[in-house]
Chain A
Amino acid sequence: MTHPDSNRSHPCTKIIKNGIFTENPIFVQVLGMCPVLAITTSTLNGISMGAATTAVLTFSNIFISILRKAVPTAVRIPIFVVIIAGFVTIVEFLLRAYVPGVYSALGIYIPLIVVNCIILGRAENFASKHNPLRAAADGVGMGLGFAMALIIVGAFREILGSGTFLSGTPFMLTLPPGIPRTILIVLPPGGFLTLGFVMAIRKHILDKKKTVKVAENNEFTHCLSKCSSCK
């Protein structure tokens, strides 16, 4: 992947990065909050929900983008919803057949992927206006951004609440028994509290970065303006 001009990256890479960072569905757009709070009692749940949503988002984006010229504008929303519901049904079947543990852990939140605002939002705002390749990149980027938020919140809640990390996988780690576990964090209120604190921390870091950047810029302009008088 050595491009002669490293500044000009492929548009698809840009779209993926945009989904993960610049327009992160959870932290920036605040869409699709229900699963972020409901199923993030463990990291594994976060990973599986993130993967399921990314799959639905990518395939529905591609499909809607292919059909974008054939769909009449007046009835586009019901058509998009049916396409999304179709892919959710497929994902539900696959999970039930191959990973029944994940299927029962996510439970009712699998059919609810249909009403996740991110998926319809991307269909409406991106896939119906761009070619299939870009729509796929957007689906992957937004899906990964969503998964990242789920995994961060899930990891926080699992470590603080149950004292484990990645339980249910072969890589499970357990905190030493001396460290207290706060059961409240795994209960419903913990979902709200954890996401609230994670968002506040993110905002604090971003604010700091911004002030540093502004200060640097000021120094720069300061220097530039004084250049004529430099000796």
Chain B
Amino acid sequence: MSLPIVFLSAALVNNFVLSRFMGLCPFLGVSKNLKTALGMGAAVIFVMGTSSIITFIVNEHILLAYNLEYLYIIAFILIIASLVQLVEAIIKRISRTLYTALGVYLPLITTNCAVLGVAVINIREEEFSLLHAAVNGISAGAGFTLALLLFACIREEMVANAIPKAFRGLPITLIAAGLISMAFLGFGGIL
């Protein structure tokens, strides 16, 4: 599988939020305005990229090498959790402003199922190399960010609309997400 196809597939065709339904909690929670959506997106791209690389190496050289592949769930979640802690510490050191802007969303990346999801997909694809895994992780994060940004714009517009009482809040948000997801179905023709 060539790398551009991996990118298109992870970012658009099989968009993690809109067609695999991974990472919905931050998608629905953080997408209320554009600025937090952007910060969250950047953090997720970073974590997904690095965790893809590390989990792939660990799986190849430790789990498979010693016949421990049944431990993959425990190993991956520990790697992701410690990575998120590391990212948190680094951001805190480098930029205090970014750290306060991201706030509680940083530790929550651990329970973003897109991060664990991409790690598991990487090791289940037969022909994936380390490079494929890295590209897949970063493009999946990019797809997540794209969906988050699109949705943040729509939600900012939606605030001013008259919505039937029963649909206010979560129901209309889900239906709007369904409509974007329908638009993303159109990318299916690319591959």
Contact = CB atoms under 8 A, between A and B. Distances in A.
B65 to A, nearest CB: 19
B185 interface: yes
A114 B175 CA distance: 27
Interface string B18-42: 1111111100100000000000000
A187 interface: yes
Size band of the B side of the interface?
35 or more
A34 B164 CA distance: 26
B21 A108 contact: no
A120 B74 contact: no
A43 B178 CA distance: 20
B166 A33 contact: no
Interface string A111-141: 1101111001000000000000000000000
Contacts of A30: 28, 170
Interface in A29-83: 30-31, 33-35, 37-38, 77-78, 81-82
A192 B180 CA distance: 10
A55 to B, nearest CB: 15
Given A33-B24, A117-B25, A200-B166, A88 B178 contact: no
Size band of the A side of the interface?
35 or more
Contacts, number: 120
A189 B72 CA distance: 31
Nearest to B177: A192
Contacts of B124: 108
Interface in A183-231: 184, 187-193, 195-197, 199-201, 203-204, 207
Contact of A89 (B18, B74, B115): B74
Given A30-B170, A189-B181, A197 B175 contact: yes
A196 B73 CA distance: 31
A201 B121 contact: no
A37 B171 contact: no
A90 B18 CA distance: 30
Interface in B116-143: 116-117, 120-121, 124
Given A82-B74, A85-B74, A188-B18, A115 B116 contact: yes
B111 A196 contact: no
A189 B165 CA distance: 23
Given A86-B74, A115-B116, A192-B178, A187 B21 contact: no
A207 B77 contact: no
12 contacts: A78-B78, A112-B113, A112-B116, A114-B73, A184-B182, A188-B18, A189-B185, A192-B177, A193-B178, A195-B174, A196-B172, A200-B171
Interface of A: 30-31, 33-35, 37-38, 77-78, 81-82, 85-86, 88-89, 92-93, 108, 111-112, 114-117, 120, 184, 187-193, 195-197, 199-201, 203-204, 207
